[in-house]
A and B are shown apart, each in its own frame.
Chain A
């Protein structure tokens, strides 16, 4: 059973927004991933999005591409990602976890086997960048067997007709891609985001998370005013990678990641405290 619904309900009751960090499993090494996840939760993350490394991550900007390359160089796969998730679940049964990735590793393993393995490991939702509504039906049916949410993406180019189709099928939350571009791009327009979110909310009561282009406490705070959740990816991947590359020290890099999320948590809380 997905933990997403109850967690978002509790946040909504408390008038709070969710902070959702994104990391690539196995980046920069597999040993760092689970301790980092725990540290992010301590720093105030409500949900964690775990990227499955892929050789051809077509929607990622250079920062997250490099994260995928580092993880692949260390041998991380879909199976080992799920093993890391299971390890995290040994001590955290509360925090919702989302698997984010590309279709081919799922195709290779088989959709039914993926759904079974996700349920077994303790995954609550799946985001598959290149499985738009037109292609996701089979995967979604498998996920529903285990009450795992398929998280649909809506972008600035999504027409109102498509928003209606997508919101009808969606569960968990809606992921709004805040800009036309790849992850980590720098041209976030918060007014446009607010306008699009208003349209989406005409058709669904599901929480709406906003990602792509949120890099610090300031941008997170601006987006949090209208969103139910903010996703922070490239900034986190970049800071951890830069620190690890310089010091080769897991604990240091984990602390850097925790402090970024902690500062974003504070920014979001301040912006939404009234």
Chain B
């Protein structure tokens, strides 16, 4: 497939209204509009400010540990027998995932705004941990909203957040997962808007969040671009990343969007199979609507009620997706595909055994699709997969699925 899109298009989104084409926007209650404007104005002042950018870069270097390596998974590539596969090692970041890139940035914004308290929603707990980490370092009070179901699935991360001094608030409304945690965080924000900064964990929510989270995460793609050139002398032929809300995918994709020869694949959670209805493949099987402050593709019924998503991985278990992804789908720049629970689990085991790298279950979806894609490519081609997070947090889930009794080992 050849892509012929004017590279200048990407610098034009979002527009002044926070729109990516028809997607995005500011669909929130009036009470939050002033806070969003304040954040938007501050960010517009700071995003090109050398002092702010230097502070952000220094934190990424010395606190997060950037740049993250680009690692060639040679043994796995050989086994598949197609393209050379490189892994962008976001799992090696402080706290073990890409999420920290964004919380460092938003934490700085909170500090510049003089806010004393931060709140966050979390699914798998990675964003909650990354928010609690930044809050601890900046001396801010931190409340993390997490669906009851996810609290159960991700007990280790819940305890990590508590150790970091955050209060984890289980959310028992609706489906008790990420979308309900986000509802509850928005309710908290509307109540405590004067002293509270809401650290949104993905490229969703009302404008300016999808833009600023994208900008903070784009360090992934900028590094990957120069690392690819240094290691192979050329740009990659393909990029692969998992998509829940889509922040790690946008982070990798965005600096390459204008390179029409670089193919891009966003891998959604196919759950038990897209045909079963129990999945989180929003872009593959959803329809446009409005949720959590933006217009985007959603999983919804004919009456506009949001349908529960399903995925083995708590971090992909979200019935919406970032609005920029919806736009990139519609203009045909990115291919959105899916991998099932079973395929992701198989890839989790394979990469752990073959490369000695244990990926997060979210990331395993990207790995599962990449295996198929690499096999169709040739050894003179190479792809970069965003290894967005490490799998330690998922060990109990994997053991449970595999029927392993840890006490009996």
Q: Which residue of A lies closest to B27 (CB)?
A: A130
In the complex, what distance in Å separates the CA atom of A156 from the CA atom of B194? 11
| Complex CA–CA separation, A135 to B180 (angstroms) | 23
Interface 0/1 of B172-209, CB less than 8 Å to A = 01100001100100110011111000000000000000
Residue in contact with B31 in the complex, picked from A65, A107, A109, A157, CB distance below 8 Å: A157
Taken residue by residue from 290 to 309, chain B's Cβ proximity to chain A (1 for < 8 Å, 0 otherwise) reads as 11110100101011111000
Contact yes or no, A104 B300, CB < 8 A? yes
* Contact (A156, B31) CB under 8 Å given A107-B304, A108-B304, A185-B191: yes
Name A233-266 residues within 8 Å CB distance of B: none
Could you tell me how many residues of chain A have their Cβ less than 8 Å away from some Cβ of chain B?
42
How distant is A173 from chain B, measured CB to nearest CB, in Å?
A: 15
Most chain B CB within a 10 A radius of its CB, from A57, A62, A107, A177: A107
> What is the bound-complex CA distance between A102 and B28, given in angstroms?
10
In the complex, what residues of B have CB within 8 A of residue A130's CB? 27-29, 290, 293
Task: Please give the distance in Å from B93's CB to the nearest CB on chain A.
Answer: 31
> Across the interface, do A54 and B305 meet the contact criterion of CB distance under 8 Å?
yes
In the bound complex, residues from chain A placing their C-beta under 8 Å from that of B179 are: 56
Instruction: Report Cα–Cα, A104/B300, bound state, in Å.
Output: 9
Q: Which residues of B are found within 8 Å of A185, using beta-carbon distances?
A: 191
7 smallest beta-carbon distances between A and B, as pairs: A108-B304, A105-B304, A77-B303, A155-B31, A181-B191, A103-B290, A55-B305
Q: How far is the CB of A156 from chain B (nearest CB, A)?
A: 7
Known: A104-B290, A130-B290, A132-B28. A180 touches B193 (CB 8 A): yes
B186 surroundings in chain A (CB, below 8 A) = 58
Q: Is B61 an interface residue (CB 8 A)?
A: no
In the assembled complex, the CB of B307 is this many whole angstroms from the nearest CB of chain A, namely: 8
Residues of B within 8 A of A (CB): 17, 25-35, 173-174, 179-180, 183, 186-187, 190-194, 287-293, 295, 298, 300, 302-306
**Residue in contact with B304 in the complex, picked from A57, A59, A78, A157, CB distance below 8 Å:** A78
Distance (Å) between the CB of A181 and the closest chain B CB? 4
B305 near A132: Cβ-Cβ < 8 Å: no
Contacts of A58 in B (CB 8 A): 28-29, 183, 186-187, 292
Instruction: Indicate with 1 or 0, residue by residue over A71-110, a CB within 8 angstroms of chain B CB atoms.
Output: 0100001110000000000000000000000111111110
Is residue A225 within 8 Å, beta carbon to beta carbon, of the partner chain? no
Cα A132 to Cα B32 with chains together (Å): 10
Chain B's nearest CB lies how many Å from the CB of A38?
A: 26
CA distance A131 to B304 in the complex (A): 15
CA separation between A134 and B19, bound complex, in Å? 11
- Point out the residues of chain B lying under 8 angstroms from A62, CB to CB: 173
7 A–B contacts, CB within 8 A, in A order: A54-B305, A58-B186, A69-B174, A155-B31, A157-B30, A159-B34, A162-B34
Residues B33 and A180 in contact, CB atoms below 8 Å apart: no
Closest CB in chain B relative to A62 CB, distance in Å: 8
Complex contact A109–B304 (CB within 8 A): yes
Q: Is the CB of B194 within 8 A of A132?
A: no
**Which residue of A61, A79, A107, A153 contacts B29 across the interface (Cβ within 8 Å)?**
A153
Across-interface contacts of A65 in B (CB, < 8 A): 173
- The docked-state distance in angstroms from the alpha carbon of A72 to that of B259 is 47
Nearest residue, chain B, Cβ from A181: B191
Interface string of A122-133 (1 = CB under 8 A from B): 000000011110
Residues of A within 8 A of B29 (CB): 58-59, 129-130, 132, 153, 155, 177
Q: Are B305 and A59 in contact, CB atoms less than 8 angstroms apart?
A: no
- Asked if A180 and B303 make an inter-chain contact with CB atoms under 8 angstroms apart, the answer reads no
- Tell me the A116-170 residues at the B interface (CB within 8 Å): 129-132, 134-135, 152-159, 162
Known contacts A104-B306, A157-B35, A177 near B191 by CB under 8 Å: no
Question: A209–B34 Cα gap in the complex (Å)?
Answer: 21
Residue of B nearest to A60 (CB): B187
Contacts of A188 in B (CB 8 A): none
